[in-house]
Structures are given as C-alpha cells and as structure tokens.
A = this chain, B = another copy of it.
C-alpha cells in the first residue's frame, strides 16, 4: 500500500483562561533549542522513519491527506481529533459550532489537496456532563457542515467518560476525474504564491466557522495546474514552510502583497494586543484559507476571477523571507503551537 500522512497540523490551543490563552495561541514559539527530543514534530519524524519502508506511491507521508487505496484514482483519507480545552472551549462555544468545526477542518484538508469529499465517520468521547441536547447539537453541527459540502456523516462511534470531550472525524475523498491530488512537494523556483483569502485574527471568531475552500480548490486544480497547495491551520508562515520544506526550496513574501491580505480581524486584534497586524496575518492559525503555488505563467485573469490574493514567490535555496518593494529581505521565524511537548 502507500505511505501517507501523519498530520503536521498542530491545532491552536484554547486554554481555559482567556487572555493567557490569547497570547499563547497567537504567539507561542515552538523552537526550544537544547530540549530533549520531544514535541509533535519529533514524534512525527520518528513515526515517518518507521513507515519509510512502505512502497511509495501517490501521496507521500506528511501531506494533508493519506492515500487509502492504491492507484492514481485511489481514495484519500484524513482524520482530525478536536479536544475540549485545546481546540475548542465548550464553556464558550456552542456545541453546534464545535461539531461544525470538527467536520470543517477535515474538509479543509480535502480542499488542500483539491479532492472531492465522499463521506465521513465520527468517533466521539463525550464528557459525562453533556446533556442529550448537547450531544444532538454536536451531531447536528457535524452533519450540517458535511451536508453543505456533499459529505454525509455515514456512521461513527459514541462513547462517554469523565474527561473532556474529544471528537475525531474521518473523511474520505476521491480525486476529480483526470486530475491528481495536489501535493505539498511540487513547488519550483519562480512559481507564484497565492492565498484564497485574507488571513489573521481568526481567534476573534472565524476559527470556529471555517469555510473549507473546496470549490475554489477544485477550480484552481482544473484551470491553473497548481504545483502545490496546503490549508492554513498553523499559520501562513508555518504552513507555507511545509510547502517549501517538502519542495526543497525557499520562498519570499512581498510586504506590499501581505498588507493587502491582512484580514480585518487581524487589525482589530492588533489594536487590542499591540502585536502588528502583519504578524497576526503571518502567524495566527486556523484560518483555513489555502496557500496555493502556481507556475510563473499562471493565467492572471483566472486568478482574479477565483479571488486569489498574490502573496510572493518560490525561490531556490531554503527558508522563508519577507521582502520590501526595495528588495530588502528579512527572515521570517516560524512560530506555532506544537502538541506533545
């Protein structure tokens, strides 16, 4: 069979204390030099080593989805677990919204690979204090989001316990006829980088109502021969970082383009916390817009019609930089939340 992914996504943390939470969510720094090997990325690296002996085909290990059945037309699958107190806060968020988000993050993975979702399974460990109505609202949210994207919830596993609620949704998807899944590792020097929408400040509310960019992704795949795509779960810098790492190249983000891709929420948040809006746009997670890499000759009219926002370009070398219109380059440090540290 095929190797696949162990998600590098490290979903944003929503600790129970609100303001402490905000700074942690938005600006935690994942690099801790000299620490013994620990953390999600180290674990994933170790897991990848043990899986490396599987025959390689289709989608490589570490991409947004895993290949579930062989062949270019094989099905892909993705799974995400959302946990109360980490990925959502049931004291503040409605169970319908929590359910919706649990499905949406998986559909966003389908968008990231430009494949069409088919159906979903859900496994839940419900905290014992949930009421029947809470459980039904959660289920209704999962189902509503799935139905909106033609991805019905077809089954699952219902459990309860004394610990916080955990929700694991799995989605399977199929490539569009004649089109291959868009991977992370196809970017080439000279390619152009786009976003499907403005980013930053999702914590003000958008993180709970992500809109999987499936429609745009399928259109991009049909019309623009994309080289690489990823959805923004950990922030533009980290997720674009995954593309350039997988593609063995570098990238630069135009400061002027970035300024036009800052979401109004990022500015609102900047006014509240003093962190530049640009930093929120680069580093805040859970936007679920897509980073799209297109060949240099991509049809600009199509890009405009699909609402793509230019962001920068792929370079040879390694690393991620900001560049001013005078050509002055500054490295961008990756920041993000990492599980299991």
Which A residues have a C-beta under 8 Å from some C-beta of B? 1-7, 9-11, 37-38, 40, 42-44, 46-47, 50-51, 54, 61, 65-69, 75, 77-81, 83, 85-86, 118-119, 121-126, 128, 130, 132, 135-136, 139-140, 143, 152-164, 166, 168, 170, 172, 174, 339-341
A79 contacts B163, C-beta separation under 8 Å: no
A9 contacts B157, C-beta separation under 8 Å: yes
A77 contacts B170, C-beta separation under 8 Å: yes
A65 contacts B155, C-beta separation under 8 Å: yes
Q: Which residues of B contact A77 (CB under 8 A)?
A: 119, 121, 154-155, 170, 172
Nearest B residue (CB) for A128: B340
A340 to B123, CA, bound (A): 14
| Contact with A61, one of B80, B85, B155 (Cβ below 8 angstroms) | B155
Instruction: Please list 30 pairs of residues, one from A and one from B, whose beta carbons are closer than 8 Å in the complex, sorted by A's number.
Output: A1-B119, A2-B152, A6-B155, A6-B157, A7-B158, A47-B139, A50-B136, A50-B139, A61-B155, A66-B119, A66-B155, A68-B121, A68-B172, A69-B119, A77-B119, A77-B121, A77-B155, A77-B172, A79-B170, A81-B123, A83-B161, A121-B170, A130-B340, A157-B168, A159-B339, A159-B340, A160-B340, A161-B339, A168-B168, A170-B170
Q: Which residues of B contact A68 (CB under 8 A)?
A: 118-119, 121, 154, 172
A43 contacts B83, C-beta separation under 8 Å: no
Q: In this complex, which of A6, A7, A65, A155 has the most chain B Cβ atoms within 10 angstroms of its Cβ?
A: A155
Q: Which residues of B contact A78 (CB under 8 A)?
A: 121, 155
Q: How far is the CB of A119 from chain B (nearest CB, A)?
A: 5
Q: Which residues of B contact A140 (CB under 8 A)?
A: 50
B123 contacts A161, C-beta separation under 8 Å: no
Given contacts A3-B154, A79-B168, 14 further A-B contacts (CB under 8 A): A4-B154, A6-B155, A6-B156, A7-B158, A43-B135, A69-B118, A69-B172, A75-B75, A79-B121, A79-B122, A79-B170, A81-B159, A125-B166, A126-B339
A153 to B78, CA, bound (A): 12
A6 to B143, CA, bound (A): 13
Known contacts A47-B139, A121-B77, A168-B168; A158/B339 CB under 8 A: yes
A-B complex: 5 closest residue pairs judged by Cβ atoms: A66-B155, A4-B155, A4-B154, A168-B168, A160-B340
Q: Which residues of B contact A40 (CB under 8 A)?
A: 158-160
Q: Which residues of B contact A174 (CB under 8 A)?
A: 69
B81 contacts A50, C-beta separation under 8 Å: no
Q: How far is the CB of A341 from chain B (nearest CB, A)?
A: 8
Nearest B residue (CB) for A174: B69
Known contacts A132-B37, A135-B340; A157/B83 CB under 8 A: no
A164 to B83, CA, bound (A): 11
Q: How far is the CB of A122 from chain B (nearest CB, A)?
A: 7
Q: Which residues of B contact A124 (CB under 8 A)?
A: 81
B47 contacts A7, C-beta separation under 8 Å: no
